[in-house]
Amino acid sequence: MNKILVTGGAGYIGSHTVVELMNSWYEVVIVDNFSNSNPGSIDGIERIIGRRPVLVEADCSDYSQMHELFKKHSDIAGVIHFAALKAVGESVEKPLEYYRNNILSIINLLSLLREFGGKHFVFSSSCTVYGQPDVLPVTEQSPLKPAMSPYGNTKKVGEDIIRDTVLASANISAIALRYFNPIGAHPSSEIGELPLGKPDNLVPFITQTAAGIRPKLQIFGNDYNSPDGTAIRDYFHVVDLAKAHVLALDRLFKGSNKSNFEVFNVGAGQGVTVLEIVKAFEKVSGKKLNYEIVGRRAGDIEKVWADTSLAEKELGWKVKSSLEDALLTAWNWEKKVRGI
Ligand code: NAD
Ligand code: WQD
Protein backbone atom coordinates (compact mmCIF):
# COMPACT_ATOMS: atom_id res chain seq x y z
CA MET A 1 0.00 0.00 0.00
CA ASN A 2 2.31 2.75 -1.23
CA LYS A 3 0.21 4.31 -3.97
CA ILE A 4 -0.12 8.08 -3.69
CA LEU A 5 -2.45 10.26 -5.67
CA VAL A 6 -0.69 13.54 -6.44
CA THR A 7 -3.22 16.13 -7.54
CA GLY A 8 -1.74 18.93 -9.61
CA GLY A 9 1.32 16.73 -10.11
CA ALA A 10 2.06 18.31 -13.50
CA GLY A 11 2.40 21.74 -11.90
CA TYR A 12 5.39 23.53 -10.46
CA ILE A 13 5.64 22.16 -6.91
CA GLY A 14 3.77 18.94 -7.75
CA SER A 15 6.23 17.86 -10.47
CA HIS A 16 9.23 18.36 -8.18
CA THR A 17 7.46 16.40 -5.45
CA VAL A 18 6.65 13.52 -7.81
CA VAL A 19 10.38 13.18 -8.55
CA GLU A 20 11.20 12.96 -4.82
CA LEU A 21 8.32 10.53 -4.13
CA MET A 22 9.33 8.19 -6.96
CA ASN A 23 12.96 8.37 -5.82
CA SER A 24 11.69 7.26 -2.41
CA TRP A 25 9.45 4.19 -2.03
CA TYR A 26 6.16 5.57 -3.32
CA GLU A 27 4.16 4.69 -6.41
CA VAL A 28 2.56 7.78 -7.92
CA VAL A 29 -0.64 8.48 -9.79
CA ILE A 30 -0.88 12.07 -11.01
CA VAL A 31 -4.19 13.75 -11.64
CA ASP A 32 -4.14 17.08 -13.42
CA ASN A 33 -6.49 18.96 -15.73
CA PHE A 34 -3.63 21.03 -17.22
CA SER A 35 -5.42 24.28 -16.43
CA ASN A 36 -2.04 25.74 -15.44
CA SER A 37 0.49 23.23 -16.77
CA ASN A 38 1.14 20.91 -19.68
CA PRO A 39 2.16 17.27 -20.14
CA GLY A 40 5.75 18.39 -20.88
CA SER A 41 6.45 18.27 -17.15
CA ILE A 42 5.60 14.55 -17.10
CA ASP A 43 8.20 14.02 -19.85
CA GLY A 44 10.66 15.99 -17.70
CA ILE A 45 9.94 13.77 -14.68
CA GLU A 46 10.53 10.69 -16.83
CA ARG A 47 13.84 12.08 -18.10
CA ILE A 48 15.01 12.71 -14.52
CA ILE A 49 14.13 9.35 -13.00
CA GLY A 50 13.86 7.06 -15.99
CA ARG A 51 10.30 6.02 -15.14
CA ARG A 52 6.98 7.60 -16.03
CA PRO A 53 4.31 8.24 -13.39
CA VAL A 54 0.75 7.17 -14.17
CA LEU A 55 -1.19 10.20 -15.40
CA VAL A 56 -4.94 10.71 -15.30
CA GLU A 57 -6.28 13.83 -16.97
CA ALA A 58 -9.27 14.84 -14.86
CA ASP A 59 -10.71 17.68 -12.83
CA CYS A 60 -10.53 17.25 -9.05
CA SER A 61 -13.56 19.47 -8.58
CA ASP A 62 -15.67 17.02 -10.66
CA TYR A 63 -16.89 14.29 -8.32
CA SER A 64 -17.80 11.75 -10.99
CA GLN A 65 -14.41 12.02 -12.72
CA MET A 66 -12.66 11.59 -9.40
CA HIS A 67 -14.91 8.68 -8.43
CA GLU A 68 -13.88 6.94 -11.67
CA LEU A 69 -10.24 7.50 -10.79
CA PHE A 70 -10.61 6.08 -7.27
CA LYS A 71 -12.56 3.09 -8.64
CA LYS A 72 -9.69 2.33 -10.99
CA HIS A 73 -7.02 2.93 -8.33
CA SER A 74 -8.90 1.68 -5.28
CA ASP A 75 -5.60 1.01 -3.49
CA ILE A 76 -4.70 4.69 -3.16
CA ALA A 77 -3.21 4.96 0.33
CA GLY A 78 -2.90 8.71 0.44
CA VAL A 79 -3.28 11.99 -1.39
CA ILE A 80 -0.95 14.95 -1.74
CA HIS A 81 -3.23 17.73 -2.81
CA PHE A 82 -1.58 20.48 -4.86
CA ALA A 83 -4.31 21.08 -7.45
CA ALA A 84 -5.64 24.60 -7.04
CA LEU A 85 -5.99 27.87 -8.86
CA LYS A 86 -3.42 30.21 -7.32
CA ALA A 87 -3.46 33.66 -8.93
CA VAL A 88 -4.25 36.06 -6.10
CA GLY A 89 -5.43 38.97 -8.30
CA GLU A 90 -7.53 36.76 -10.55
CA SER A 91 -9.24 35.28 -7.49
CA VAL A 92 -10.52 38.75 -6.55
CA GLU A 93 -12.15 39.01 -10.00
CA LYS A 94 -13.40 35.41 -10.15
CA PRO A 95 -14.16 34.38 -6.56
CA LEU A 96 -16.72 31.73 -7.47
CA GLU A 97 -14.32 30.00 -9.89
CA TYR A 98 -11.70 29.92 -7.13
CA TYR A 99 -14.06 28.66 -4.43
CA ARG A 100 -15.56 26.08 -6.80
CA ASN A 101 -12.22 24.76 -8.00
CA ASN A 102 -10.25 24.85 -4.77
CA ILE A 103 -12.91 23.98 -2.22
CA LEU A 104 -14.87 21.35 -4.17
CA SER A 105 -11.60 19.58 -4.96
CA ILE A 106 -10.79 19.26 -1.24
CA ILE A 107 -14.29 18.00 -0.41
CA ASN A 108 -14.24 15.45 -3.25
CA LEU A 109 -10.81 14.11 -2.33
CA LEU A 110 -11.58 13.74 1.37
CA SER A 111 -14.92 12.06 0.61
CA LEU A 112 -13.31 9.59 -1.78
CA LEU A 113 -10.36 8.91 0.49
CA ARG A 114 -12.83 8.00 3.21
CA GLU A 115 -15.04 5.95 0.89
CA PHE A 116 -12.14 3.92 -0.54
CA GLY A 117 -10.27 3.50 2.74
CA GLY A 118 -7.23 5.72 2.08
CA LYS A 119 -5.67 7.14 5.21
CA HIS A 120 -3.25 9.96 4.52
CA PHE A 121 -3.74 13.50 3.27
CA VAL A 122 -1.12 16.21 2.74
CA PHE A 123 -2.38 19.67 1.86
CA SER A 124 -0.66 22.63 0.17
CA SER A 125 -1.41 25.50 2.46
CA SER A 126 0.27 28.87 2.45
CA CYS A 127 1.83 31.51 4.67
CA THR A 128 -0.92 33.73 3.26
CA VAL A 129 -3.09 32.45 6.15
CA TYR A 130 -1.00 34.58 8.55
CA GLY A 131 -1.60 37.85 6.67
CA GLN A 132 0.77 40.51 8.04
CA PRO A 133 1.91 38.92 11.32
CA ASP A 134 2.36 41.14 14.36
CA VAL A 135 5.37 39.17 15.55
CA LEU A 136 8.14 37.73 13.36
CA PRO A 137 9.16 35.06 12.63
CA VAL A 138 5.74 33.39 12.49
CA THR A 139 5.18 30.10 14.26
CA GLU A 140 2.31 27.69 13.62
CA GLN A 141 0.70 29.16 16.75
CA SER A 142 0.67 32.71 15.39
CA PRO A 143 -2.85 34.00 14.91
CA LEU A 144 -4.41 33.60 11.48
CA LYS A 145 -5.61 36.83 9.90
CA PRO A 146 -8.64 37.37 7.66
CA ALA A 147 -7.59 36.45 4.13
CA MET A 148 -6.68 39.29 1.77
CA SER A 149 -8.15 37.46 -1.24
CA PRO A 150 -10.56 34.66 -2.15
CA TYR A 151 -7.48 32.59 -3.04
CA GLY A 152 -6.04 33.09 0.44
CA ASN A 153 -9.39 32.25 1.94
CA THR A 154 -9.49 28.91 0.09
CA LYS A 155 -6.35 27.96 2.02
CA LYS A 156 -7.81 28.99 5.40
CA VAL A 157 -11.18 27.33 4.69
CA GLY A 158 -9.38 24.33 3.18
CA GLU A 159 -7.47 23.80 6.42
CA ASP A 160 -10.74 24.10 8.38
CA ILE A 161 -12.50 21.51 6.20
CA ILE A 162 -9.61 19.09 6.57
CA ARG A 163 -9.39 19.59 10.36
CA ASP A 164 -13.13 19.03 10.84
CA THR A 165 -13.10 15.98 8.57
CA VAL A 166 -10.22 14.20 10.26
CA LEU A 167 -11.73 14.89 13.67
CA ALA A 168 -14.89 13.15 12.51
CA SER A 169 -13.20 10.25 10.69
CA ALA A 170 -10.51 8.83 12.88
CA ASN A 171 -9.10 6.78 9.98
CA ILE A 172 -7.78 9.78 8.10
CA SER A 173 -4.77 11.79 9.22
CA ALA A 174 -3.67 15.00 7.56
CA ILE A 175 -0.75 17.38 7.47
CA ALA A 176 -1.02 20.90 6.10
CA LEU A 177 2.26 22.42 4.97
CA ARG A 178 2.22 26.20 5.00
CA TYR A 179 4.64 27.13 2.26
CA PHE A 180 6.46 30.43 2.27
CA ASN A 181 7.97 31.42 -1.12
CA PRO A 182 9.26 28.45 -3.11
CA ILE A 183 11.56 29.37 -6.00
CA GLY A 184 14.00 27.67 -8.34
CA ALA A 185 13.88 24.55 -10.44
CA HIS A 186 15.20 21.02 -10.53
CA PRO A 187 19.02 21.07 -10.93
CA SER A 188 18.63 18.97 -14.10
CA SER A 189 16.61 21.84 -15.68
CA GLU A 190 14.10 19.19 -16.83
CA ILE A 191 11.25 20.69 -14.80
CA GLY A 192 10.61 24.13 -13.34
CA GLU A 193 8.11 26.95 -13.02
CA LEU A 194 6.38 27.84 -16.28
CA PRO A 195 3.78 30.53 -15.68
CA LEU A 196 1.28 31.07 -18.48
CA GLY A 197 1.32 34.72 -19.58
CA LYS A 198 2.75 37.51 -17.44
CA PRO A 199 4.16 36.13 -14.18
CA ASP A 200 2.70 37.38 -10.89
CA ASN A 201 5.59 36.09 -8.82
CA LEU A 202 8.93 37.78 -8.40
CA VAL A 203 11.47 35.17 -9.48
CA PRO A 204 9.83 34.11 -12.77
CA PHE A 205 9.45 37.81 -13.56
CA ILE A 206 13.15 38.33 -12.92
CA THR A 207 14.25 35.36 -15.06
CA GLN A 208 11.91 36.38 -17.90
CA THR A 209 13.30 39.92 -17.76
CA ALA A 210 16.87 38.63 -17.87
CA ALA A 211 15.87 36.42 -20.82
CA GLY A 212 14.59 39.48 -22.68
CA ILE A 213 10.93 38.46 -22.64
CA ARG A 214 9.95 41.36 -20.34
CA PRO A 215 11.55 44.80 -20.79
CA LYS A 216 11.94 45.48 -17.08
CA LEU A 217 11.04 44.31 -13.61
CA GLN A 218 8.83 46.62 -11.63
CA ILE A 219 9.64 46.57 -7.93
CA PHE A 220 6.46 47.19 -6.01
CA GLY A 221 7.31 49.75 -3.35
CA ASN A 222 10.52 50.93 -1.64
CA ASP A 223 8.84 52.67 1.28
CA TYR A 224 8.41 49.59 3.48
CA ASN A 225 9.95 49.34 6.91
CA SER A 226 12.92 47.18 5.83
CA PRO A 227 16.68 47.77 5.42
CA ASP A 228 16.36 48.94 1.79
CA GLY A 229 12.65 49.83 1.79
CA THR A 230 11.52 46.85 -0.31
CA ALA A 231 9.26 44.09 1.01
CA ILE A 232 10.57 41.01 2.79
CA ARG A 233 9.70 37.36 2.08
CA ASP A 234 11.06 33.93 2.92
CA TYR A 235 12.32 32.42 -0.36
CA PHE A 236 13.52 28.81 -0.52
CA HIS A 237 14.33 26.07 -3.01
CA VAL A 238 11.42 24.12 -4.47
CA VAL A 239 13.39 20.85 -4.26
CA ASP A 240 13.66 21.35 -0.48
CA LEU A 241 9.89 21.91 -0.43
CA ALA A 242 9.35 18.72 -2.44
CA LYS A 243 11.37 16.79 0.14
CA ALA A 244 9.21 18.16 2.95
CA HIS A 245 6.23 16.40 1.34
CA VAL A 246 7.99 13.04 1.37
CA LEU A 247 8.85 13.52 5.06
CA ALA A 248 5.28 14.54 5.86
CA LEU A 249 3.90 11.48 4.10
CA ASP A 250 6.47 9.19 5.77
CA ARG A 251 5.34 10.58 9.12
CA LEU A 252 1.72 9.72 8.37
CA PHE A 253 2.63 6.24 7.10
CA LYS A 254 4.72 5.56 10.19
CA GLY A 255 1.98 6.87 12.43
CA SER A 256 4.46 9.15 14.18
CA ASN A 257 2.13 12.13 13.85
CA LYS A 258 1.07 13.53 17.20
CA SER A 259 -2.49 14.33 16.19
CA ASN A 260 -4.76 13.63 13.23
CA PHE A 261 -4.23 17.14 11.91
CA GLU A 262 -0.85 18.77 12.04
CA VAL A 263 0.43 21.99 10.52
CA PHE A 264 4.02 22.89 9.65
CA ASN A 265 5.66 26.04 8.34
CA VAL A 266 7.96 25.31 5.43
CA GLY A 267 10.43 28.04 4.51
CA ALA A 268 14.08 29.00 4.85
CA GLY A 269 13.43 30.86 8.09
CA GLN A 270 15.11 33.99 6.75
CA GLY A 271 13.65 37.22 5.46
CA VAL A 272 15.09 38.67 2.25
CA THR A 273 14.15 41.93 0.49
CA VAL A 274 13.20 42.27 -3.17
CA LEU A 275 16.38 44.24 -3.87
CA GLU A 276 18.48 41.56 -2.19
CA ILE A 277 16.91 39.00 -4.51
CA VAL A 278 17.71 41.20 -7.52
CA LYS A 279 21.35 41.60 -6.40
CA ALA A 280 21.73 37.87 -5.70
CA PHE A 281 20.25 37.07 -9.11
CA GLU A 282 22.63 39.47 -10.85
CA LYS A 283 25.54 37.82 -9.08
CA VAL A 284 24.67 34.21 -9.95
CA SER A 285 23.57 34.94 -13.53
CA GLY A 286 26.22 37.53 -14.35
CA LYS A 287 23.45 39.61 -15.92
CA LYS A 288 22.46 43.17 -15.06
CA LEU A 289 18.74 43.35 -14.48
CA ASN A 290 16.67 46.22 -15.81
CA TYR A 291 14.28 47.35 -13.06
CA GLU A 292 12.36 50.36 -11.82
CA ILE A 293 10.73 51.15 -8.50
CA VAL A 294 6.98 51.70 -8.73
CA GLY A 295 4.19 51.99 -6.16
CA ARG A 296 3.16 49.23 -3.79
CA ARG A 297 1.06 46.35 -5.15
CA ALA A 298 -2.46 46.23 -3.71
CA GLY A 299 -2.88 43.52 -1.11
CA ASP A 300 0.86 43.00 -0.50
CA ILE A 301 2.10 42.63 3.04
CA GLU A 302 5.29 44.26 4.23
CA LYS A 303 7.24 41.35 5.63
CA VAL A 304 6.96 37.72 6.57
CA TRP A 305 9.33 34.89 7.34
CA ALA A 306 8.96 31.55 9.05
CA ASP A 307 9.97 30.00 12.28
CA THR A 308 10.63 26.48 10.99
CA SER A 309 11.74 24.88 14.25
CA LEU A 310 8.65 22.67 14.42
CA ALA A 311 9.33 21.15 10.98
CA GLU A 312 12.94 20.67 11.98
CA LYS A 313 12.06 18.93 15.23
CA GLU A 314 9.11 16.82 14.07
CA LEU A 315 9.77 16.18 10.37
CA GLY A 316 13.55 16.38 10.47
CA TRP A 317 13.26 18.94 7.68
CA LYS A 318 15.35 22.00 7.04
CA VAL A 319 16.33 23.82 3.87
CA LYS A 320 19.58 22.57 2.41
CA SER A 321 19.99 24.75 -0.67
CA SER A 322 21.10 28.35 -0.55
CA LEU A 323 19.20 31.26 -2.04
CA GLU A 324 21.94 31.53 -4.67
CA ASP A 325 21.52 27.86 -5.65
CA ALA A 326 17.80 28.35 -5.97
CA LEU A 327 18.19 31.46 -8.14
CA LEU A 328 20.78 29.78 -10.33
CA THR A 329 18.50 26.80 -10.99
CA ALA A 330 15.65 29.19 -11.81
CA TRP A 331 17.90 30.95 -14.32
CA ASN A 332 19.22 27.70 -15.84
CA TRP A 333 15.64 26.52 -16.30
CA GLU A 334 14.56 29.79 -17.94
CA LYS A 335 17.55 29.61 -20.31
CA LYS A 336 16.71 26.03 -21.25
CA VAL A 337 13.04 26.81 -21.88
CA ARG A 338 13.92 29.82 -24.04
CA GLY A 339 16.76 28.08 -25.84
CA ILE A 340 19.33 30.61 -24.60
P1 NAD B 1 0.73 25.22 -10.30
O2 NAD B 1 -0.37 26.03 -10.91
O3 NAD B 1 2.01 25.13 -11.03
O4 NAD B 1 0.22 23.74 -10.02
C5 NAD B 1 -1.12 23.44 -9.75
C6 NAD B 1 -1.52 22.31 -10.70
O7 NAD B 1 -2.86 21.95 -10.40
C8 NAD B 1 -1.48 22.71 -12.16
O9 NAD B 1 -0.80 21.70 -12.89
C10 NAD B 1 -2.95 22.79 -12.58
O11 NAD B 1 -3.14 22.44 -13.94
C12 NAD B 1 -3.57 21.79 -11.62
N13 NAD B 1 -4.99 22.02 -11.30
C14 NAD B 1 -5.59 23.15 -10.87
N15 NAD B 1 -6.90 22.93 -10.63
C16 NAD B 1 -7.13 21.62 -10.91
C17 NAD B 1 -8.25 20.78 -10.85
N18 NAD B 1 -9.45 21.25 -10.47
N19 NAD B 1 -8.14 19.48 -11.19
C20 NAD B 1 -6.94 18.99 -11.59
N21 NAD B 1 -5.83 19.73 -11.66
C22 NAD B 1 -5.92 21.03 -11.33
O23 NAD B 1 0.94 25.79 -8.82
P24 NAD B 1 2.07 25.46 -7.75
O25 NAD B 1 2.87 26.69 -7.57
O26 NAD B 1 2.74 24.19 -8.07
O27 NAD B 1 1.18 25.31 -6.46
C28 NAD B 1 0.77 24.05 -5.96
C29 NAD B 1 -0.05 24.25 -4.71
O30 NAD B 1 0.72 24.95 -3.74
C31 NAD B 1 -1.32 25.08 -4.90
O32 NAD B 1 -2.32 24.53 -4.09
C33 NAD B 1 -0.91 26.44 -4.41
O34 NAD B 1 -2.02 27.17 -3.97
C35 NAD B 1 0.01 26.08 -3.27
N36 NAD B 1 0.97 27.12 -2.92
C37 NAD B 1 1.84 27.59 -3.85
C38 NAD B 1 2.77 28.58 -3.51
C39 NAD B 1 3.73 29.14 -4.52
O40 NAD B 1 4.38 30.14 -4.22
N41 NAD B 1 3.87 28.55 -5.70
C42 NAD B 1 2.81 29.06 -2.19
C43 NAD B 1 1.92 28.55 -1.26
C44 NAD B 1 1.01 27.57 -1.63
C1 WQD C 1 7.26 38.60 -3.69
C2 WQD C 1 7.71 40.04 -3.48
C3 WQD C 1 6.15 41.67 -4.33
C4 WQD C 1 6.55 40.65 -8.52
C5 WQD C 1 2.21 35.42 -3.47
C6 WQD C 1 0.84 35.10 -2.94
C7 WQD C 1 0.91 34.16 -1.81
C8 WQD C 1 1.81 32.96 -2.12
C9 WQD C 1 3.05 33.28 -2.86
C10 WQD C 1 0.51 30.99 -2.48
C11 WQD C 1 6.57 40.96 -3.05
C12 WQD C 1 7.47 41.74 -5.08
C13 WQD C 1 6.70 40.69 -7.15
C14 WQD C 1 7.04 41.77 -9.29
C15 WQD C 1 7.79 42.80 -7.26
N16 WQD C 1 1.20 31.97 -2.91
N17 WQD C 1 7.30 41.73 -6.53
N18 WQD C 1 7.64 42.79 -8.63
O19 WQD C 1 3.61 38.33 -2.69
O20 WQD C 1 4.86 36.72 -1.23
O21 WQD C 1 2.95 35.93 -2.42
O22 WQD C 1 2.80 34.20 -3.90
O23 WQD C 1 -0.11 30.79 -1.54
O24 WQD C 1 -0.37 33.80 -1.49
O25 WQD C 1 0.23 36.31 -2.51
O26 WQD C 1 5.03 36.48 -3.70
O27 WQD C 1 6.46 36.36 -5.69
O28 WQD C 1 4.25 37.61 -5.84
O29 WQD C 1 6.11 38.58 -4.53
O30 WQD C 1 8.33 43.76 -6.71
O31 WQD C 1 6.89 41.83 -10.51
O32 WQD C 1 8.16 40.56 -4.74
O33 WQD C 1 5.62 42.95 -4.14
O34 WQD C 1 7.10 41.89 -2.16
P35 WQD C 1 4.11 36.97 -2.47
P36 WQD C 1 5.44 37.22 -5.03
* Residue 197: how many other CB atoms lie within 10 Å: 6
Q: What is the DSSP string of 56-71?
A: EE--TT-HHHHHHHHH
Nearest CA to ligand 1 atom 6: 8
Note the pLDDT of residue 228. 98
**Ligand 2 centroid to 200 CA: how many Å?**
7
**Ligand 1 centroid to 106 CA: how many Å?**
13
- Assess whether pLDDT exceeds 80 at residue 170: no
Out of 19, 63, 86, 148, mutate this one to test ligand 1's pocket (max ligand atoms within 8 Å of CB): namely: 86
Which ligand gives the minimal distance to the CA of 90?
2
Domain locations in the chain?
Answer: 3-183+236-266, 202-233+269-335
Please work out whether the CB of residue 14 comes within 6 Å of at least one atom of ligand 1.
Answer: yes
Note the pLDDT of residue 91. 96
**Ligand 2 centroid to 24 CA: how many Å?**
32
- Assess whether pLDDT exceeds 90 at residue 35: yes
Are 120 and 77 in contact by the 8 Å Cβ rule? The answer is yes
Query: What would the mean pLDDT of 232-257 be, rounded to a whole number?
Result: 98
Give the pairing type, strands 232-233 and 272-273.
Answer: antiparallel
pTM for the model:
0.98
The CATH number of 202-233+269-335 is which of 3.40.190.10, 3.40.50.720, 3.40.250.10, 3.90.25.10? Answer: 3.90.25.10
**Band of the pLDDT at 238, cuts 50, 70, 90?**
very high
Distance separating alpha carbons of residues 279 and 87, to the nearest angstrom: 26
The string of pLDDT tens digits covering residues 196-226 is 889 999 999 999 999 999 999 999 999 999 9
User: Domain 3-183+236-266 classified CATH 3.40.718.10?
Assistant: no
The string of pLDDT tens digits covering residues 68-77 is 999 999 999 9
Query: What would the mean pLDDT of 104-129 be, rounded to a whole number?
Result: 97
* Residue 316: how many other CB atoms lie within 10 Å: 11
The string of pLDDT tens digits covering residues 291-326 is 999 999 999 999 999 999 999 999 999 999 999 999
State the amino acid at position 291 in one-letter form. Y
- Assess whether pLDDT exceeds 80 at residue 112: yes
Please work out whether the CB of residue 325 comes within 6 Å of at least one atom of ligand 2.
Answer: no
Indicate the average pLDDT of the chain.
97
Note the pLDDT of residue 169. 84
> Known catalytic residue: 63?
no
Helix, coil or strand: residue 168: helix
Catalytic residue among 12, 26, 130, 151: 151
